[in-house]
């Protein structure tokens, strides 16, 4: 790990941290529009990370679906401290949320090739004097009793409520937990979500000021589709949905690549990283929101990230034969 600044910041505010690629490295920045302030290099070779943070703590985890680790980040003493956490053997880490006290909730999946791995794949990770401790969050009985090795790919924390969505096959469940002062969680409700097609797989969830958005993929008779579902975070009732067809299995090697990879909110704007299609933008403040694209002249949009302190987004761009770079896109 390499510190970028000589004097580490003692005050960071929620919504200021972003991970951006610089020369093939993942650098944690303080969002400052077109001139983000580099803070510290993440202790991994990967350059595409998800970060969720409060004013003193953060969790960073890679977007690689096979990854089995995350980092607890603590700068409450004025210096960045990274502590690596790995799930039990046979599990991967796919999503996380962090509280103001530094407790992390993490979700993931099980490797079906490993025998006797339990279905449960959610954990409470607590910082302590002797390092991080792990506590299992039991999945609701409806999910455990389904007989499916379901994976947790979507998790957000809002107003003391942990919202979790499982990721594969029918039925598609969402769980609500109430977060207690000591960091423990109590199951509040389990609901079944209406699918958009068969074999729907939820990849990610992002939280905005007024909405939560789920990104999913489905398959039906050899044809694959993607769905963006914009929902009410209090009930998960669907408000808007956007769908694109990815074609048949035979079409997936064709160029250009048609795929939604990441999403991020900036107020009522939902930004969508869409590889060769460019950057998608949905203005949810309009009566009839529509998905519009902005291209980047031969560069692929691999990822998009936002900071609630800034109105706009950072996009990770990649041109063939070059390392990924980033660019600030102000809201219009």
Residue 145 lies in a domain: yes
Mean pLDDT by 10 residues, the chain (332 residues): 46 73 87 90 71 82 79 84 87 88 88 58 90 88 62 87 78 87 92 82 88 89 88 94 77 65 93 94 95 92 85 92 92 84
Total number of domains constituting the chain: 1
Task: Please tell me the predicted confidence (pLDDT) of residue 3.
Answer: 46
Residue 280 lies in a domain: yes
Chain center to CA of 97 = 9
State the DSSP string of 28-40.
EEE-BTBS-EEEE
Task: Please tell me the predicted confidence (pLDDT) of residue 218.
Answer: 84
Task: Please tell me the predicted confidence (pLDDT) of residue 132.
Answer: 94
Residue 36 lies in a domain: yes
Task: Please tell me the predicted confidence (pLDDT) of residue 6.
Answer: 46
Residue 12 lies in a domain: no
Q: Are 279 and 260 in contact (CB under 8 A)?
A: no
Residue 60 lies in a domain: yes
Residue 33 lies in a domain: yes
Task: Please tell me the predicted confidence (pLDDT) of residue 282.
Answer: 96
Task: Please tell me the predicted confidence (pLDDT) of residue 2.
Answer: 45
CATH of the domain at 83: 2.130.10.10
Locus of tokens 């949320």? 97
Domain limits for position 185? 17-330
Tokens of 103: 């407790």
Q: Which helix (H) or strand (E) holds 161?
A: strand 161-166
Q: Tell me the CA distances in angstroms from 321 to 258, 276, 298, 318, 328, one per residue in order.
A: 20, 15, 12, 9, 22
Residue 1 lies in a domain: no
Spell out the alpha helix ranges (H) of the chain.
141-144
Task: Please tell me the predicted confidence (pLDDT) of residue 292.
Answer: 95
Residue 7 lies in a domain: no
Please report the sign of the dihedral spanned by the C-alpha atoms of residue 74, residue 77, residue 81, residue 84.
Answer: negative
pTM more than 0.85:
yes
Tell me which DSSP letter residue 142 carries.
Answer: H
């Amino acid at each position: 790990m390499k510190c970028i600044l000589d004097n580490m910041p003692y005050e960071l505010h929620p919504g200021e941290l972003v991970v951006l690629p610089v020369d093939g490295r993942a650098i944690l920045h303080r969002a400052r529009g077109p001139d983000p302030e580099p803070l510290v290099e993440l202790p991994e070779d990967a350059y595409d990370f998800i970060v969720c943070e409060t004013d003193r703590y953060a969790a960073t985890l890679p977007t690689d679906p096979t990854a089995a680790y995350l980092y607890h980040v603590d700068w409450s003493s004025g210096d960045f401290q990274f502590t690596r956490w790995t799930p039990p053997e046979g599990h991967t880490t796919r999503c996380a949320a962090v509280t103001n006290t530094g407790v992390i909730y993490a979700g993931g999946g099980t490797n079906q090739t490993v025998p006797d791995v339990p279905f449960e794949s959610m954990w409470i990770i607590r910082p302590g004097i002797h390092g991080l401790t792990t506590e299992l969050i039991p999945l609701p009985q409806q999910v455990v009793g389904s007989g499916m090795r379901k994976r947790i790919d979507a998790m957000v924390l809002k107003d003391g409520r942990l919202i979790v969505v499982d990721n594969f096959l029918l039925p598609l469940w969402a769980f609500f937990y109430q977060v207690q002062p000591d960091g423990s969680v109590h199951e509040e409700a389990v609901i079944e979500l209406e699918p958009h097609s068969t074999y729907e797989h939820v990849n990610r969830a992002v939280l905005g000021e007024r909405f939560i958005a789920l990104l999913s993929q489905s398959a039906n008779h050899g044809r694959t589709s993607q769905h963006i579902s914009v929902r009410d975070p209090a009930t998960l009732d669907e408000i808007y949905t956007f769908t694109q067809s990815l074609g048949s299995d035979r079409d997936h090697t064709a160029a250009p690549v048609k795929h939604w990879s990441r999403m991020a909110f900036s107020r009522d704007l939902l930004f969508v990283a869409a590889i060769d299609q460019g950057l998608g933008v949905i203005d949810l403040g309009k009566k009839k929101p529509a998905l519009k694209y902005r291209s980047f002249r031969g560069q692929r949009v691999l990822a998009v990230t936002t900071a609630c302190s800034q109105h706009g987004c950072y996009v990770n761009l990649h041109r063939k034969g070059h390392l990924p770079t980033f660019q600030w896109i102000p809201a219009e």
